[in-house]
Amino acid sequence: MTPLSPITSRIQRIAELLRRYPGAVAAFGFVSGLASFFLIERHRGSVRVIAVLLLASWVWLVLERLLRTRLKRRFGIALPPVLLNYAMQLIHQESLFFTLPFFIVSTAWNTGQAVFTSSLIGAALIAIIDPIYYRRLAPRRWLYLAYHSLTLFAVLLVALPLIVHLPTTQSYGIALGSAALLSFPSLAASVPQQLRRRGLAVIALMATLAAGGWFARSAVPPATLWLARGAISLEVDSAARQPGPALKTLTASQLHGDGLYAFTAINAPLGLTERIHHDWVHNGKVVDSIELDISGGREPGYRAWTHKTNFPDVPNGRWEVRVVTAGGQRIGTLRFRIAADASPPAPGQA
């Protein structure tokens, strides 16, 4: 018996407990994931741990057989497949339930962002439903790796602004590039073995995936940015950084004074500096785009505003102020309407 056999014995006992109580993994992943979200300001290191674990687990997925053989040959440690499977499931559960609250709160549900966040919700449900996870997902290696890449993509979108304080657009590019690279095994499995220049075909698919993800970035919520409060007003108290009375409807004559203010309070991670845009939209057409910089860390959100004075000759109709990142991801929308001025009374009808 080798000196390390007690380690293998303990691993076997842990694997047996997991077989006996499989629901404990799902419960732990769900509770710890949500707890991480609410404790993020105090336990910021948990995001880094999750990201590192996902990267390491992807390497394990690719080199699983080789690494298991080396461990057994060199150290005499035999890792039961059931233990590894439960560990991967726990990582997926922890990651998805940690990132989901960020995406849910930052999603503009009346836009294409709802599709992405709904997909993450579906992925999280799969992670806690063992029959689907182990019988439908895990046996299909290409699908399992694609699922893993989606999870990593979501984690990096949250982790990079929180940990490294990268702006949302840079975080999106890095997360998308990482997901595209990690999709190589899944794409390779989908290309027929007998195809000539198979490697070039896989690279072309990866490039297509990355390009499609970049052009579709407006359909992905900005994860760590969300609109805490917003208002359209005729005035702003710059000293108190507060808007005047919020307006939903106003008349064209009210614009002739000092124009309109779009006030927004945006929640952003501590230490993050972000450039955003207020896009003023009239009847579906962008007529003005005003930049402003925000900084994170304030509990009620960073309060900033833009001031628009140049309106069309006929400003009547539906208006929106779309709050978007520099990369085009929508943070929120303020809506209002400009109505026609009341017609003067006809002669003799005063």
Please give the residue that has the higher pLDDT: either 283 or 350: 283
- What's the mean per-residue pLDDT of the chain? 80
**Tally of CA atoms within 13 A in the half-sphere of 337 that contains its CB:** 6
Least-confidence region, from 237-241, 253-257, 280-284, 308-312? 253-257
When pLDDT is cut at 50, 70 and 90, the band that residue 45 belongs to is low
Query: Kind of pairing, strands 302-308 and 285-295?
Result: unpaired
Q: Looking at domain 226-339, which CATH architecture does it have?
A: Sandwich (2.60)
Query: Kind of pairing, strands 330-339 and 242-243?
Result: unpaired
pLDDT at 269: 81
| Residues contacting 36, CB < 8 A, separation 6+ | 43, 46, 47, 50, 94, 98
Least-confidence region, from 44-58, 230-244, 307-321? 44-58
pLDDT at 42: 45
Least-confidence region, from 207-211, 280-284, 329-333? 207-211
In this structure, are residues 141 and 189 in contact, taking their beta carbons and an 8 Å threshold? yes
pLDDT at 51 over 80: no
Which run of H or of E encompasses 266? strand 260-267
Domain assignments of the chain as residue spans, ordered by start: 5-219, 226-339
Distance between CA atoms of residues 274 and 168, nearest Å = 7
Least-confidence region, from 43-52, 104-113, 162-171, 209-218? 43-52
* φ/ψ of residue 73, rounded to 5: -70, -40
When pLDDT is cut at 50, 70 and 90, the band that residue 43 belongs to is very low
pLDDT at 237 over 60: yes
Least-confidence region, from 33-42, 106-115, 142-151, 259-268? 33-42
Least-confidence region, from 96-105, 123-132, 196-205, 266-275? 196-205
pLDDT at 48 over 80: no
pLDDT at 215: 92
Residue recorded with tokens 């930052």:
106
pLDDT at 230 over 80: yes
pLDDT at 72: 65
pLDDT at 17 over 90: no
pLDDT at 57 over 60: yes
pLDDT at 105 over 50: yes
Distance between CA atoms of residues 129 and 126, nearest Å = 5
In the numeric block, which tokens belong to residue 103? 């995406």
Distance between CA atoms of residues 300 and 288, nearest Å = 27
* Residue 31, number of CB atoms within 10 A of its CB: 13
Please give the residue that has the higher pLDDT: either 197 or 200: 200
Least-confidence region, from 155-169, 282-296, 327-341? 155-169
In this structure, are residues 306 and 261 in contact, taking their beta carbons and an 8 Å threshold? yes
pLDDT at 1: 41
Please give the residue that has the higher pLDDT: either 58 or 235: 235
pLDDT at 227 over 60: yes
pLDDT at 2: 45
DSSP states along 28-93: HHHHHHHHHHHTTTT-THHHHHHHHHHHHHHHHHHSHHHHHHHHHHHH-----HHHHHHHHHHHHH
Q: Angle of helix 141-159 relative to helix 168-182, nearest 10 degrees? A: 160
pLDDT at 4: 43
Q: With 0.85 as the threshold, say if the pTM is over it.
A: no
